[in-house]
Structure 1
Amino acid sequence: MTKPILINDFLHLHDIVPLIDVRTPAEYEQGHVPGAFNVPLFSNEERVRVGTTYKQVGREEAILLGFDLTGSKWSSFIKEALIIAPDKRIGVHCWRGGMRSGAMAWALDLYGFEVFLIQGGYKKYRGWVHQQFEQPYKIQILGGMTGSGKTKLLQQLSVTGEQVIDLEDLAQHQGSSYGSMNKLIQPTQEQFENNLAGKLKDIDKKEKVWVEDESLTIGKRSIPNPFWHQMRDAAIIDIKVDVQRRVNSLAAEYGSLDKDFLMESTERIRKRLGPEQTKYAIEAIMEGRIKDFVKIVLVYYDKTYRTGLSKRDISKVSSLELDDTDIATQTNNVLNFTINAPAK
């Protein structure tokens, strides 16, 4: 049986009903519903052929070509769907909920699947994604200069049961010129938005959600403007940590990275760091004086942070010094601070 369903309704079932995306591998790679399985009806090249036929010859010829191209594939489609959904309950979508998903739904229905056919397809889903950024959230920003341990605090807050959105994890980048850590690969902008919307979907809007203070861009990915503006308007806790602790923490984190990567990343901020400081930083990297390198670049990053902080509503900025090095104790201090601090 095939059941047409709106994307909003299907997402409530997504944890128990798997979803297959029958678009091409290239379309899927550009952006997909988090957790969806790619079972492409056509290869990238085949879709181009069908599309060209549709435009140059007509709809009926394109449909016939589509059947020619998929004729020998239907058995493998069904077998793959059985692996994904052994209980024979499955969601299906293509770009606009048209012929590709319709054909797949027909075949799976014929075999005995209960098929949830997403109305409007991935295009409708993308509209839903943008709607999530427009929703109001009770955001609490966790700020602090580079090396203050904000990411570890966020992770520990999540462990304690607090709602957390880790934007750097979603963007696969730590935000600075060195943020790829010479290994992280960022998702496409479209997929970053999809992943963020998926996290926001599960947020209880009546309760606080913790978000790290970020620039508009994280690496090459941009935080969606409606959500970014909410972040900028939210109350922020400015974490204060001793500078030497910050230097030690960053040196430990970046010291094992490839020297060429560190030097290339430093060159990218030459104009903002200045030619003389850039030279000293690169010399420190080459000589293995990682703490000296960190101290030099922190001058630039600290200045950038203070500039960003100065543009916030001062009435929404609170400072909290964290002297203890134990992450659990730090987290408790942060939580107690938010409980006892006056409303902003």
Structure 2
Amino acid sequence: MKEKLISLEEFWSLRTQIPLIDARSEGEFAQSHIPDACNIPILTNEERIIVGTIYKEKGAIEATLKGFELVGPRFHEIQKSVLDKFPDGKILVYCWRGGMRSQILSWLLSMVGFEVYRLKAGYKTYRTFTFEQVRKNWNLLVLGGKTGVGKTRLLKELETRGEQILDLEALANHKGSAFGAIGQAPQPSVEQFENLMSEELAKKDPEKIIWLENESRRIGKIVLNDHFFDQMAKSPLIDIRKPEADRIQLIKEEYSHLPKEELIAAVNRLKKKLGGLRTTNAIEDILNDNHESWISNMLIYYDKTYQFDLERHSSDTIEILDLSNKDLNESTEILLKLKSIIHGKLTNPTH
């Protein structure tokens, strides 16, 4: 069957109906890719280097011949792999620029009866879109507050009430502190994080508020782009206050069950900032299950860090909200009412 070349606009609707294959090398795929794509390389990492070298030294024809020499013996394996994984007979394919690799894959699959849709201009056109998407202007409402006030829980509860949220820490696989990677999947690359962030933003109504947590520029190894980070700094921020005892209890619920060696490693990463004595005391408390003690020790550092981050917000954009003795349901109701006060109405705020 003959392939159909599709634009990025056509791609958005088809991707929800048809499996997606990335024909680039495993290294390119690992660096970044369209979410939910399956990687079936036409050229492996090593083969891509070989072909690229020949292209530079001898030109396109010699490089093409070498590429077919390398991949040709695997043609039947590629066909069989796709037939096994996607028996329905329809497939979306792409490579870096929609060139030779996706053309070869499209040809191979067409030969065994697949209805193939190939993305024009490939991953490059998708990445251009996601790059621009995460640098647009958005209506943001930021949840701030010291470590342990329950910002993530509030964010999730707001989502259950039909509010638009953007959970940057979930996308980054990191909770944003020295302890933030414990129990998390490996972090994506910055480029892949922006792809994931763009996919989430594409689901939002740009005229409505998006709730998100206050974050530093870095979330683990992820770095937020300057434009979005500046937007966060200029957006209204609700500074949530709760008693230290409540904060310690919440942190204990989330971290006390984690492996001690990983908690200790996180404390050691902060040694220069904590000082030798506080580091030693915190490690001893972890080993002895004195969770309230080591958490209280860490909060001395993290509270100072939060205050520093808070200062990047203009004071006239900050609303202080005391949620002492308020459960999750009551706290959420208060947040929704405060949102209405801040923006004048629940939805469609003016820019």
Q: Distance in 2 between matches of 1:26 and 1:135?
A: 29
Q: Distance in 1 between matches of 2:88 and 2:135?
A: 36
Q: Distance in 2 between matches of 1:253 and 1:81?
A: 42
Residue pair 1:142, 1:239 contacting (<8 A) in 2 also: yes
Q: Distance in 2 between matches of 1:68 and 1:281?
A: 60
Q: Distance in 2 between matches of 1:15 and 1:113?
A: 18
Counterpart secondary structure, 1:143: strand
Corresponding residue of 1:101: 102
Corresponding residue of 1:294: 295
Residue pair 1:324, 1:330 contacting (<8 A) in 2 also: no
Residue pair 1:21, 1:94 contacting (<8 A) in 2 also: yes
Corresponding residue of 2:169: 168
The verdict on how the C-alpha distance between 1:141 and 1:84 changes in structure 2, with shifts beyond 3 A counting, is farther
Q: Give the TM-score normalised by structure 1.
A: 0.92
Residue pair 2:140, 2:209 contacting (<8 A) in 1 also: yes
Map 1:212-251 → 2, pairs under 5 A: 212-251=213-252
Corresponding residue of 1:330: 331
Deviates more, 1:165-174 or 1:16-25: 16-25
Q: Give the TM-score normalised by structure 2.
A: 0.90
Q: How many equivalent pairs are there?
A: 344
| Offset at residue 236 of structure 1 (A) | 1.0
The verdict on how the C-alpha distance between 1:40 and 1:68 changes in structure 2, with shifts beyond 3 A counting, is same
| Offset at residue 176 of structure 1 (A) | 0.6
The verdict on how the C-alpha distance between 1:197 and 1:341 changes in structure 2, with shifts beyond 3 A counting, is closer
Corresponding residue of 2:79: 78
Corresponding residue of 2:260: 259
Corresponding residue of 1:26: 27
Q: Distance in 1 between matches of 2:117 and 2:172?
A: 30
Deviates more, 1:81-90 or 1:15-24: 81-90
Counterpart secondary structure, 2:143: strand
| Offset at residue 263 of structure 1 (A) | 2.2
Residue pair 2:174, 2:184 contacting (<8 A) in 1 also: no
Q: Distance in 1 between matches of 2:227 and 2:312?
A: 18
Corresponding residue of 1:6: 7
Map 1:278-289 → 2, pairs under 5 A: 278-289=279-290
Corresponding residue of 2:128: 127
Residue pair 2:282, 2:293 contacting (<8 A) in 1 also: yes
Counterpart secondary structure, 2:103: helix
Residue by residue, what CA displacement relative to the aligned partner does 1:84-143 show, whole Å, maximum 9, x if unpaired? 554433221111211111111223334443322222222222211111022211111111
| Offset at residue 254 of structure 1 (A) | 1.6
| Offset at residue 323 of structure 1 (A) | 3.2
Residue pair 1:273, 1:300 contacting (<8 A) in 2 also: yes
Residue pair 1:139, 1:208 contacting (<8 A) in 2 also: yes
Deviates more, 1:258-267 or 1:309-318: 258-267
| Offset at residue 285 of structure 1 (A) | 2.2
Any gaps of 5 or more consecutive residues in structure 1? none
| Offset at residue 149 of structure 1 (A) | 0.7
Residue pair 1:236, 1:318 contacting (<8 A) in 2 also: yes
Deviates more, 1:68-77 or 1:207-216: 68-77
Q: Distance in 1 between matches of 2:25 and 2:343?
A: 53
| Offset at residue 328 of structure 1 (A) | 2.9
Residue pair 1:237, 1:319 contacting (<8 A) in 2 also: yes
Q: Distance in 2 between matches of 1:314 and 1:80?
A: 58
Residue pair 1:105, 1:117 contacting (<8 A) in 2 also: yes
Corresponding residue of 1:198: 199
Counterpart secondary structure, 2:14: coil
Q: Distance in 1 between matches of 2:56 and 2:67?
A: 14
Q: Distance in 1 between matches of 2:307 and 2:79?
A: 57
Residue pair 1:8, 1:128 contacting (<8 A) in 2 also: no
Counterpart secondary structure, 2:5: strand
| Offset at residue 36 of structure 1 (A) | 1.0
Corresponding residue of 2:65: 64
Q: Distance in 1 between matches of 2:123 and 2:265?
A: 39
Corresponding residue of 2:52: 51
| Equivalent AA in structure 1 for residue 215 of structure 2 | E
Residue pair 2:143, 2:212 contacting (<8 A) in 1 also: yes
Residue pair 1:182, 1:261 contacting (<8 A) in 2 also: no
Corresponding residue of 1:179: 180
Residue pair 2:242, 2:322 contacting (<8 A) in 1 also: yes
Counterpart secondary structure, 2:116: strand
| Equivalent AA in structure 2 for residue 338 of structure 1 | K
Q: Distance in 1 between matches of 2:117 and 2:305?
A: 49
Q: Distance in 2 between matches of 1:83 and 1:226?
A: 44
Counterpart secondary structure, 2:211: strand
| Offset at residue 295 of structure 1 (A) | 0.7
Deviates more, 1:31-40 or 1:103-112: 103-112
Residue pair 2:237, 2:317 contacting (<8 A) in 1 also: yes
Q: Is it true that 1:157 corresponds to 2:155 in the alignment?
A: no
Q: Distance in 2 between matches of 1:203 and 1:183?
A: 26
| Equivalent AA in structure 2 for residue 144 of structure 1 | G
Residue pair 2:134, 2:194 contacting (<8 A) in 1 also: no
| Offset at residue 23 of structure 1 (A) | 0.6
Q: Is it true that 1:142 corresponds to 2:138 in the alignment?
A: no
Q: Distance in 2 between matches of 1:159 and 1:140?
A: 17
Any gaps of 5 or more consecutive residues in structure 2? none
Counterpart secondary structure, 1:55: helix
Counterpart secondary structure, 1:330: helix
CA RMSD of aligned residues (A): 2.1
